[in-house]
Structure 1
Amino acid sequence: MTYTLLVSISIAQKHDPMDDDKWEIDDEHGRRDRMETMMVWRLTEELDLKPEQAEKFFPRFREHRKNLSNIHKEQREIGKRLRKKVGEDEKISKSEVTSAVKKINVLRKKTVDVEERFLLGMDDLLDPLQMSILGMFKQEMLREMGGELRKRGNDRKK
């Protein structure tokens, strides 16, 4: 199991620094890298991946995360443009708002499609149980992280 975990982490950590946009996202404490490492560790453990599976799974997973990141970046750009106009007290037309809402909805649908293709595309690599665990993984991890953050916040208030 330890070997599988080490192989999984090393495969998932393959990183191209040219892909980083450090100017846009403030990640001075390496939170993104730590989060990615934690996800790899948790996925390896939760899915009980064999080394052969991990070798094939994590490159696909990285590509999937990259696709989602690009979609989210587009959504942020739309929001950033609107916030800029609001902040500068520019007049925003109804058509601009409608257009932004429609674009964001299209991007949300695209996110759902990308998630579905990724999950269902794992049928050649994962068994049905592993696929169902993978499908629920994101919600469970986010829920746990939210609870952990709330706990930390309460501890700091004491």
Structure 2
Amino acid sequence: MRKYTILVILFFIVIGTSLAQRPGDRYDREKLEAARVAFITTRLDLKPEQAERFWPIFNVFNDAREKNLKEMSELGRVKDIEISESEAKARISKKFEIQRKMILDEEKFVRDLSSVLTYNQIIQLNGLSREFARHIYQRRKGESQK
């Protein structure tokens, strides 16, 4: 009897959590990443040998960029209602330090990419992340209206 009670409880927990999630909010991270790779590769018209050299450079830069953006976001969050002036000043200084680092990282990224891509392709790359995000948003919006 105890075994059946546990199974029934587990069944309701699984059903409850699956119903609590809206279907439109779920996404497969691997599929999303594959779509991003295909989108950028297509839009930049990368040849196979270019893509082979491009993606490792891009991934290293993008991972570092995301880490820096996350750190900057955390610096902007104030957990307590008030922080001291010295803490606020330190956070702002740290934010500027991260921004300077990000500029240096981007300059290195462009130098590294210039051996793989043309400068026109590098300029196109700048807007592709936003364009991809808009593309995904519009697809999801279209699916939710069906």
TM-score bracket, normalised by the shorter chain, equals: 0.5 to 0.7
Match of 2:128 among 126, 132, 137: 137
- Stretches of structure 1 that go unaligned for 5 or more consecutive residues are 1-27
1:55 equivalent in alignment to 2:44: no
Deviates more, 1:63-72 or 1:112-121: 112-121
Is the Cα contact below 8 Å between 1:119 and 1:134 reproduced in 2?
A: no
Letter in 1 for 2:141: R
Indicate the residue corresponding to 2:141 in structure 1: 152
Is the Cα contact below 8 Å between 2:57 and 2:112 reproduced in 1?
A: no
1:121 equivalent in alignment to 2:124: no
Secondary structure at the residue paired with 2:41? helix
Higher relative contact order (CA 8 A, sep 6+): 2
Match of 1:111 among 102, 105, 118: 102
Indicate the residue corresponding to 1:13 in structure 2: none
Deviations 1:33-55 (A, max 9, x none): 34322221111101111111111
Deviates more, 1:53-62 or 1:97-106: 97-106
Indicate the residue corresponding to 2:88 in structure 1: 97
Aligned counterparts of 1:41 and 1:123: Cα–Cα separation in 2: 21
Q: 1:145 to 1:104 in 2, by over 3 A?
A: farther
Is the Cα contact below 8 Å between 1:57 and 1:125 reproduced in 2?
A: yes
Give 1 or 2 for the bigger CA radius of gyration: 2
Aligned counterparts of 1:109 and 1:34: Cα–Cα separation in 2: 33
- Stretches of structure 2 that go unaligned for 5 or more consecutive residues are 1-24
- How many residues of Structure 1 are paired with residues of Structure 2 in the alignment? 121
Is the Cα contact below 8 Å between 1:47 and 1:134 reproduced in 2?
A: yes
| TM-score under structure 2 length normalisation | 0.65
Q: 1:38-77 to 2 correspondence within 5 Å? A: 38-77=35-74
Aligned counterparts of 2:134 and 2:104: Cα–Cα separation in 1: 22
Identity of aligned residues (%): 30
Deviations 1:30-83 (A, max 9, x none): 554343222211111011111111111111111111211221232233234x2x
Is the Cα contact below 8 Å between 2:44 and 2:121 reproduced in 1?
A: yes
RMSD of equivalent CA atoms: 2.9
